[in-house]
Amino acid sequence: MRERSTPLAVPDPNRFDRNLAIAQSSKSVSIPRCFAELAPMDVTPILESLNDAQRQAVTAAAGPTLVIAGAGSGKTRVLVHRAAWLIDVEGVSPQSVLAVTFTNKAAAEMRGRIESLLKIPVNHLWIGTFHGLAHRLLRRHWREAGLPQNFQIIDSDDQLRLIKRLLKNLEIDETRWVPREIQYFINGEKDEGRRPKHLDDEGDPHRRQMIALYAAYEEVCDRGGLVDFAELLLRAHELWRDNPELLAHYQRRFTHLLVDEFQDTNSIQYAWLRLLAGKHGIPFVVGDDDQSIYRWRGARVEHIHRFQKDFPGTTVVKLEQNYRSTGTILNAANAVIENNSSRLGKKLWTDGADGEPIRIYAAYNERDEADFIIGRLRDWIDQGNLRADAAVLYRSNAQSRALEEGLINAGIPYRVYGGLRFFERAEIKDALAYLRLIANRDDDSSFERVVNKPTRGIGARTADMMRSYARANSCSLWRAAGAIASDELNGRAANAVHAFINLIETLARDTDSLDLPEKIDHVIHASGLIEFFKKEKGEKGETRIENLLELVSAGRSFEPDPAEEMSPLDEFLSHAALEAGEGQADEWDDCVQLMTMHSAKGLEFPLVFMSGMEDGLFPHQRSVSDPNGLEEERRLCYVGITRAMQTLYITYAEQRRLHGMDNYSQPSRFINEIPDEHIEEVRPRVQVSRPVRASGARSTSIRQGSEAGVRLGQRVHHQKFGDGVILNCEGQGAHARVEVNFETAGTKWLVLSYANLDLM
Ligand code: ATP
Ligand code: MG
């Protein structure tokens, strides 16, 4: 979402605002306490409801400050109060404060919380993600940054497509030079601040080729005015580095730099911050080394140590009291993270109650797991709780499908947070591609995307001709299309290309004076996209059309920032690329929150499910054999556990179909790291279950109504097949089956209710 000013009612600044709008819009919910009720006006309200250590941080003298503390200890809260303190008590102008958060949503929440502490809007305060702030700078100073005014942001999907196209153009074999690896290489180098010219092939031909591809990729981006996510940061850094006067201007302006989730800054972000701080800027950063979970994306937890060297005289504040979770949840989290060796080491405590045990459920498969979770969610909702206070976390995005299916069947509204992103859906990207072409004809990715969508007779051959023309003449595909349609193509193909060129020109002309939503509406119809998806059978096509129409609504609710010097369309397109996933239609409805463990960072929920807790899934297969990878997974597990305030469920499935394959897994090793005393196993009614805590070999018991349990490895006797040992079991109730290895008859699957097995 864009940054907005505070909603009408004054929110309670102490309540994490995820549900703020929900609480205010939902009739079934009491309005959060007003700040005035919390803080008598005769004391400085900003220091109210902070503990001593937090106060020390908030009021720290004007020098570099590092707050290093565990989950839920109030780091984000300290940051908010620090901003308010600076403005209200120290008399610092809001203009001089720059605050960096990890998501755009967090930025909007932070602004709201600062405003409610100060009781005035703080429009001039810059709050955003590193990417968002870099983007803002580049828009303002596009000329100095060496960019065209209408440069477009491409997301990682576009980036990958662009790399594939590049390989095709260069006639390089995709199976040898894997596009994803090239993408990873390029982004990795950019994250470290390196351009191709800085790279040395070290005599390694593979590396030489990678560097050449990076250079070729850069050329394509420069020609089309395309900026990927890593480029935003790198350019913004170079912008300041190479323009000392500009840098000096911003250094004078931003005297106070506040950074949340500091443990996950990457090298270029840190370098950017150091440039801005210069000699006199005052950085105030908060973070938790135990929650560093983006190493794979270039984050460097080492910055916590470097900070103290780079900023001599840093005041270090530690917070140890946790206000979020019950004693049980906290102890479980502490016990898990203790298994990591590379830690600064700190212990969180709470003076709250122990609360409920953590409940663990061993599901038969992913559907059973979803059923279980949905059953608990129903109970939760029936007890009058907010749906939005419940979150289901999973390790990988694909896991959401089974959960989503179950939720849809159960009629429980849900939202996939940061997952199935609205702006990343194919049909939305199609519509955006048309809009981008209207804004910038030289945008090659957009051109490629829609030149033949809906199909208009521009075949692969014509497309190839355009590409080679563009390559040979170093021009955009748009120009190439115009040129070859006039000179090289025969009647039919030439007509098709002319028709496309005319379409775009007409769209541009016809929408020129329209407002943003009308513009979008006109484009999705006149481009033929709506017609095209109407032909797509069944629900899919319908959903796509709904999504396209939703894009018009997105345009309607989009509020251009008057301070930005670009057209509303350009701004909207940047917004779409930057803030994908955060503008979903149902954002403010009261619905259950589904998200990956990664996207849950910084959030908190009264009820949390950690699902799919199986070895191979979490910890992820590729990290199991790498100690550093495993430690990062464990930190992620720590993040997951510490999202829970009151109630935590952990579930895993013995069998899971994921990406079309069946997997049989052991419970996650992280479950075993939680001490027994914090755990309660949930016993299924009638079914196969495997006691989680059993150590050593898999031991499974079969329960059928009141029948005695049958365990894996148990010896049994069958009338016909004789004696054997139970090897495996699956299914529930009347369908429960066991696999028995009979001494003479071999291995057989038997339906338990018919087999009449005698236990021996
Ligand atoms: P994370 O590491 O997960 O980002 P954090 O350290 O940023 O957590 P916050 O989100 O700021 O922690 O705070 C956690 C919860 O504890 C919030 O609900 C916050 O309002 C509450 N809280 C923090 N400090 C206090 C306090 N002194 N009194 C009451 N509640 C507090
Ligand atoms: Mg936080």
Q: What is the pTM of this model?
A: 0.72
d(CA 363, CA 149): 55
Could you tell me if 525 and 377 lie in one domain?
Answer: no
To the query of whether residue 143 is one of the catalytic residues in this protein, the response is no
Could you tell me if 111 and 259 lie in one domain?
Answer: yes
To the query of whether residue 260 is one of the catalytic residues in this protein, the response is yes
Taking only Cα atoms into account, the Rg of the chain, rounded to an integer number of angstroms, comes to 29
Could you tell me if 114 and 240 lie in one domain?
Answer: yes
Residue nearest to atom 30 of ligand 1 (CA): 323
On the question of a cis peptide bond just before residue 13, with omega within 30 degrees of 0, the verdict is no
Q: Which residue has the higher pLDDT, 435 or 689?
A: 435
User: Residue 335 domain-assigned?
Assistant: no
d(CA 46, CA 85): 6
- For β-strands 644-658 and 661-664, DSSP reports them as antiparallel
Could you tell me if 440 and 523 lie in one domain?
Answer: yes
Place of tokens 């074999």: 173
To the query of whether residue 643 is one of the catalytic residues in this protein, the response is yes
* pLDDT tier, 732 (very low <50, low <70, confident <90, very high otherwise): low
User: Residue 147 domain-assigned?
Assistant: no
Query: What distance in angstroms lies between residue 582's CA and the mean position of ligand 2's atoms?
Result: 19
Contacts of 225 (CB under 8 A, 6+ apart): 147, 148, 150, 151, 152, 440, 442, 443
pLDDT (tens digit, 9 = 90+) per residue, 306-322? 999 999 999 999 999 99
Task: Name the DSSP class of 616.
Answer: B
- Examine the pLDDT at 143 and tell me if it is beyond 80: yes
CA angle 137, 138, 141 (to 5 degrees): 85
Q: Which pLDDT value is given to residue 193? A: 94
Could you tell me if 185 and 215 lie in one domain?
Answer: yes
Instruction: With CA atoms as reference, report the closest residue to 161 among 208, 228, 74, 83.
Output: 228
Could you tell me if 195 and 98 lie in one domain?
Answer: no
User: Residue 738 domain-assigned?
Assistant: yes
> Which CATH number covers residue 398?
3.40.50.300
Q: Which atom of ligand 1 is nearest to the CA of 54?
A: 27
Could you tell me if 312 and 404 lie in one domain?
Answer: no
- For β-strands 715-718 and 722-730, DSSP reports them as antiparallel
Could you tell me if 206 and 276 lie in one domain?
Answer: no
CA of 143: how far to CAs of 148, 151, 222, 235, in Å?
7, 11, 13, 12
Per the CB < 8 A criterion, the answer to whether 151 and 123 are in contact is no
User: Residue 292 domain-assigned?
Assistant: yes
What does the H/E/C string look like for 258-322?
A: EECCHHHCEHHHHHHHHHHHCCCCEEEEEECHHHCCCHHHCECCCHHHHHHHHCCCCEEEEECEC
Average pLDDT over residues 311-337: 95
Q: How many domains does the structure of the chain reveal? A: 5
To the query of whether residue 76 is one of the catalytic residues in this protein, the response is yes
d(CA 554, CA 533): 20
- Residues lining ligand 1, judged by CB closer than 6 Å? 14, 16, 49-51, 54, 69, 71-77, 288, 291, 323-324, 602, 604, 642
Residue nearest to atom 31 of ligand 1 (CA): 323
- Examine the pLDDT at 6 and tell me if it is beyond 50: no
Could you tell me if 116 and 54 lie in one domain?
Answer: yes
d(CA 137, CA 608): 38
Per the CB < 8 A criterion, the answer to whether 533 and 544 are in contact is yes
Instruction: With CA atoms as reference, report the closest residue to 132 among 96, 101, 94, 158.
Output: 101
Range of the domain at 509: 424-574
Last residue of a domain, one of 525, 556, 574: 574
- Examine the pLDDT at 299 and tell me if it is beyond 90: no
Could you tell me if 565 and 599 lie in one domain?
Answer: no
> Which CATH number covers residue 499?
1.10.486.10
- Type of residue at 141: H
pLDDT (tens digit, 9 = 90+) per residue, 671-730? 999 999 999 998 754 444 444 333 333 333 333 342 335 666 778 888 888 888 887 777
Could you tell me if 128 and 189 lie in one domain?
Answer: no
